Amino acid sequence: MPLFFIWRPLSARRANGFASFKKGSFPLFVVGFISALIMLQPDLGSTMILILTAVLVIMVGGANLKHLLVLGSIGAALIGMVTAVYIIKNNGTYNYRIARFTSFMDPWNDPEKSGFHLVQSLYAFGHGGFMGAGFGQSIQKLHYLPEAHNDFIFSIIGEELGFVGASLFLLVYLAFIWRGLIVALRCTEMFGTLTGVGIVGWIGIQAFINIGGVTASIPLTGVTVAADQLRRFIYHDYADEHRDPSQYIKRV
């Protein structure tokens, strides 16, 4: 919904509706305010998705890059100030959260606490290897890897289908995003173009943050892959809580 504040100025087929500072900055202030409310939860992952998608839509709408740099610098300064205040008031809580956020650099430094999720995720990829353990043969989804059916579904794909299956999944995903962008850019109305770019951009950005996080390439933020429906095919009755995980461990 916040992105409709961005698309509205261009609904009258104006090609450069965000070129002026006023029209280009107002949507960012709206998104910034909503992002601040989301961060109060706190939810860093959703905030990143919202901001990056908004910036993408504004850039496609013809925004001036100098204006974006100025506003981005102001926003970064404000975030720094808020973070400093948060550190002072919540030192203990902050230490735990920053440890979770930076655990991707060395998850084995604290494998039972801050690095637990990433260690279990990497175990899944390691078990899958090149060809995978086989469809439905995942061990990590048997309550070893938390949130295996949504946050870490790509880890289960890597475990069951291996490097080959995970690569094929990424290629299909990239093809979907590419075709979606082509369709959006071919729209005769600017509103349709921005709507398409916003939807496809949101899906792509969310997938990038999720897959980068579960592979320990970027900080783990806890967002899911947009194609969360895949869990119906991967997280099936083999993860039933009444099954004994030891019978699958013997296969390793």
Provide the H-helix boundaries in 90-225: 91-102, 116-128, 153-185, 190-214
Prediction pTM value: 0.75
Selection from 212, 245, 213 nearest residue 140 by Cα: 245
- Cα torsion 122, 251, 135, 129: sign: positive
> Looking at residues 22-28, what average pLDDT do you find?
68
Q: What CA–CA distance (Å, rounded) separates 167 from 174?
A: 10
Q: For 170-193, what is each residue's pLDDT tens digit? A: 999 999 999 999 998 888 887 788
Residue with tokens 């998104």: 31
Q: What CA–CA distance (Å, rounded) separates 40 from 36?
A: 6
At residue 252, does pLDDT exceed 80? no
| Tokens coding 129 | 């290897």
At residue 238, does pLDDT exceed 80? no
Q: Which long-range contacts (CB under 8 A, 24 or more apart) does 212-219 make?
A: 213/104, 214/118, 214/121, 214/151, 214/152, 214/154, 214/155, 215/121, 215/122, 215/125, 215/154, 216/104, 216/107, 216/118, 216/121, 216/122, 217/104, 218/104, 219/101, 219/102, 219/104
Contact call for residues 193 and 187 (beta carbons, < 8 A): yes
More confident residue, 63 or 203: 203
Q: What CA–CA distance (Å, rounded) separates 165 from 209?
A: 20
- Cα torsion 28, 34, 39, 43: sign: negative
Percentage above 90 pLDDT, the chain: 14
Q: What CA–CA distance (Å, rounded) separates 215 from 121?
A: 7
Q: For 43-67, what is each residue's pLDDT tens digit? A: 778 888 888 888 888 888 777 777 7
